[in-house]
């Protein structure tokens, strides 16, 4: 099996539900791995180190930057976030697809480096819905929520940089859409391994089977 | 609703299961119409006029050619097959997606005329499986089966002309793949109507909501 895994990069305004959707796809489909980001942001009460993020202090994060371990990293709302090159590559080299959620800065950096990746943007059904979700989460201060909403205002216009757009009106339909993207991308003709096709089919034709 | 419907063109060697899959997608998803081809081929015992094909005699078919009513037409195994322009356009103009199965000649003609269409090729899991399916169908003579297999041998190499490849190993997975293609194509960023996005989301942002 020489086929390399695909990279799915999912971005969204904070609160649009990208993390739940990525995790949902991993539960739905075999052979997809959810890649956890590194961050210097303090964990929220319900977050688990290594599952939600790899939580590290700023010194450790900067060490990794110096070692060139991050495929992308960015400062968002005063915290550092990064995608480990090693964690990602070790999966795709084995033919496992990797899905990761990153902020829009990170997605655009990855897009320059990994042109063959699949870039997906999740939109909330309305701005009011976004505000509601951030408020309901009860994990961020009012100032933090205001910052996140302001960032949404700025980045939303960038949506045409992505290949797919999902409006997260309800989780079930949005998950069906994200799952469909993974399935459809896997069977794009340009990705199909000719040697596989020859082995399973074309050789038989030539033998006059 | 000004959004035009999408065109999905599904092709496959005869016996690979393309018609069942197209019909399956129409049952699975709302807003997709299966477009029935015209043919001069005599109906098989279980085939219904207007449902499986519009069965017409050669004179009627040639009249339609002269009226330029076929978006594509081709002679396959000595019979004429054609796609009605009117039947197809009347749906897509109303925003309904249309799925049709045509032979590979027809698909390639449509690809030149409808560049925005989505071209899907279905492969049987093996050549032996294809032969088995044609034999099991008990509707074609041995000479006819031999002709269909020979055509499969010739056209299979053309698979890179299509955007997606589905190996129809089992109906359930192949249907899931074809459904995924329709869902994913619908949410491609390039297809998203900016005015829709403005109405539902961006206007609210600008109001400072």
| CATH number for the domain that contains residue A29 | 3.40.50.300
Q: Distance (Å) from the C-alpha of residue B8 to the closest C-alpha of chain A? A: 13
Name residue A82's beta-bridge partners: A38, A73
The whole-number average pLDDT for the span B25-30 is 96
Which of B25, B191, B205 to probe by mutation at the A interface, max A CB count within 10 Å?
Answer: B205
Residues 6 or more apart in contact with residue A203 via CB below 8 angstroms: none
The beta-carbon neighbor of A187 closest among B126, B177, B187 is B177
Higher pLDDT, A195 or B131: B131
Which residues constitute the domain of residue B126? 7-206
Exposure on the CB side of residue B138, measured as CA atoms within 13 A:
3
Instruction: Provide the pLDDT for residue A204.
Output: 65
Edge-first strand order for the sheet with A118-123 is A32-34, A97-101, A7-11, A118-123, A164-167
CB A208 within 8 A of CB B152: no
Residue A118 lies in a domain: yes
Residue B2 lies in a domain: no
Q: How far is CA B90 from CA A63, B30, B102, B147, B185, in A?
A: 62, 17, 19, 35, 20
Residues 6 or more apart in contact with residue B82 via CB below 8 angstroms: B37, B38, B39, B61, B64, B65, B69, B70, B72, B73, B74
The whole-number average pLDDT for the span B92-112 is 93
Residue A173 lies in a domain: yes
Instruction: Provide the pLDDT for residue B58.
Output: 96
Which of B189, B191, B207 to probe by mutation at the A interface, max A CB count within 10 Å?
Answer: B189
The beta-carbon neighbor of B189 closest among A153, A162, A200 is A162
Instruction: Provide the pLDDT for residue B198.
Output: 66
Residue B1 lies in a domain: no
- A159 and B197 in contact by Cβ < 8 A? yes
Measured distance CA(A184)–CA(B14) in Å, rounded: 23
Sorting pLDDT into bands at 50, 70 and 90, what band is B200?
low
Sorting pLDDT into bands at 50, 70 and 90, what band is B201?
low
CB B21 within 8 A of CB B168: yes
- B176 and A197 in contact by Cβ < 8 A? no
Number of structural domains, chain A?
1
Residue B199 DSSP SS3: helix
In degrees and rounded to multiples of 5, residue B208 shows phi and psi of: 75, 25
pLDDT (tens digit per residue) in B35-56: 999 999 999 888 999 998 999 9
ipTM exceeds 0.85, yes or no: yes
Q: What is the percentage of chain B residues whose pLDDT exceeds 70?
A: 91
The whole-number average pLDDT for the span B176-201 is 84
Q: What is the DSSP string of A151-193?
A: HHHHHGGGGGGSSEEEE-SSHHHHHHHHHHHHHHHHTBGGGS-
Burial of A155 (0-12, 13-18, 19+ CB in 10 A): buried
Residue A70 lies in a domain: no
Low-confidence residues in chain A, pLDDT < 70? 1-2, 194-209
pLDDT at B208 over 60: no
The beta-carbon neighbor of A159 closest among B162, B167, B189 is B189
- B157 and A202 in contact by Cβ < 8 A? yes
Instruction: Provide the pLDDT for residue B1.
Output: 44
Q: How many C-beta atoms lie closer than 10 Å to residue B104's C-beta?
A: 22
Measured distance CA(B169)–CA(B133) in Å, rounded: 12
Helix (H) or strand (E) holding B144: helix B142-155
Which of A15-19, A204-208, B24-28, B199-203 is the least confident region? A204-208
Higher pLDDT, B154 or B55: B55
Question: Of B153, B29, B70, B30, which is closest to residue A208 (Cα–Cα)?
Answer: B153
The beta-carbon neighbor of B187 closest among A177, A190, A197 is A177
**Contact list, B128 vs chain A (CB under 8 Å):** 204, 209
- B128 and A205 in contact by Cβ < 8 A? no
pLDDT (tens digit per residue) in B64-98: 999 999 999 988 878 999 999 988 999 999 999 99
Instruction: Provide the pLDDT for residue A68.
Output: 93
The whole-number average pLDDT for the span B99-108 is 91
| DSSP summary character for residue B200 | I
Higher pLDDT, A2 or B134: B134
pLDDT at B113 over 80: yes
Q: How many C-beta atoms lie closer than 10 Å to residue A9's C-beta?
A: 26
Which of A189, A195, A208 to probe by mutation at the B interface, max B CB count within 10 Å?
Answer: A189
Residue A72 lies in a domain: no
Residue A106 lies in a domain: yes
Q: Distance (Å) from the C-alpha of residue B179 to the closest C-alpha of chain A? A: 8
The beta-carbon neighbor of A205 closest among B156, B166, B209 is B156
Residue B8 DSSP SS3: strand
Residue A135 lies in a domain: yes
């Amino acid at each position: 099996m020489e086929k390399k895994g695909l990279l799915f990069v999912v971005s969204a305004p904070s609160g649009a539900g990208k993390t739940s959707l990525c995790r949902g796809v991993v539960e739905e489909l075999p052979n997809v791995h959810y890649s956890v980001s590194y961050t210097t942001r303090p964990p929220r009460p319900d977050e688990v180190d290594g599952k939600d993020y790899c939580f590290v202090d700023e010194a450790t994060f900067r060490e990794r930057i110096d070692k060139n371990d991050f495929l992308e990293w960015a400062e968002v709302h005063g915290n550092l976030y990064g995608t480990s090159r090693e964690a990602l590559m070790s999966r795709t080299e084995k033919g496992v697809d990797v899905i990761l959620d990153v902020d829009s800065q990170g997605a655009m950096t990855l897009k320059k480096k990994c042109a063959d990746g699949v870039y997906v943007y999740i939109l909330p059904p309305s701005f009011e819905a976004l505000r509601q979700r951030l408020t309901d989460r009860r994990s961020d201060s009012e100032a933090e929520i205001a910052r996140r909403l302001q960032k949404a205002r700025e980045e939303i216009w960038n949506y045409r940089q992505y290949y797919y757009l999902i409006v997260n009106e309800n989780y079930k339909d949005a998950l069906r859409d994200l799952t469909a993207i993974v399935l459809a991308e896997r069977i794009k003709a340009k990705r199909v391994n000719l040697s596989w096709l020859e082995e399973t089919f074309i050789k038989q034709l030539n033998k006059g089977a």
